Amino acid sequence: MTGANDDGKGSTEGPVTTVTDFELARALEVASAVPDPEVPCVTVADLGILRSVSRDDAGQIVVRLTPTYSGCPAVIAIEMAVQSALLNAGIDSAIERVISPAWTTDWITDEGREKLRAYGIAPPVGSSGGRRAFFSEDVIACPRCGSSHTTKVSEFGSTACKAHYRCDDCAEPFDYFKCI
């Protein structure tokens, strides 16, 4: 998660350091733990879509989220899940959708990548750095057996941000989280 800057409002944008505001720290903790509705093995923090938790000038907690892509059908569900989790923790907050800069798979944490692999989804390979990410034929290792002998079955998997593969060694199908 990216975290605290020195703006005097207890913001948690930039690398997380020390937050002196207990409610703000609790809000960050609660929001960070919300699972993604389409890939419940990872949290919004693991995916890097939780951009920041801070206070606005009026003192209200503001949670900033970036959708994985502008047409993501889960964006409203994610925003509602974060707000609901905060309300259940007794924290009133506002949710802001941040679309610039656009989310990239580069923001998925190392822990998030490992959770995807353990769940049976191959995490993104390489960096999102441009057109090559969409049209390259990288070797995608099977998340179940680790084999690099895999075949792309479809450019689209269970969601638009994933492609569908099959392992040629263990014969298991799996999703690959595309490099975006």
Within 2-138, where are the H helices?
A: 22-32, 44-47, 75-88, 110-119, 131-135
How far apart are the C-alpha atoms of 77 and 149, rounded to whole Å? 36
Domain ranges of the chain: 19-97, 108-177
Virtual CA dihedral for 98, 102, 104, 108, nearest 10 degrees? -10
| CATH 3.40.50.300 holds for 19-97 | no
How far apart are the C-alpha atoms of 160 and 180, rounded to whole Å? 11
- Mean pLDDT is lowest, of 37-46, 152-161, 163-172, for 152-161
Tell me the three-class secondary structure of 141-158, residue by residue.
CCCCCCCCCEEEEECCCC
What is the tens place of the pLDDT at every residue in 41-84? 999 999 999 999 999 999 999 999 999 888 888 899 999 999 99
Gyration radius (Cα) of the chain, Å: 18
Cβ–Cβ under 8 Å, residues 136 and 163: no
The helix (run of H) or strand (run of E) holding residue 165 is strand 162-167
Cβ–Cβ under 8 Å, residues 106 and 127: yes
What is the tens place of the pLDDT at every residue in 103-143? 999 999 999 999 999 999 999 987 666 555 455 567 899 99
Higher pLDDT, 135 or 40: 40
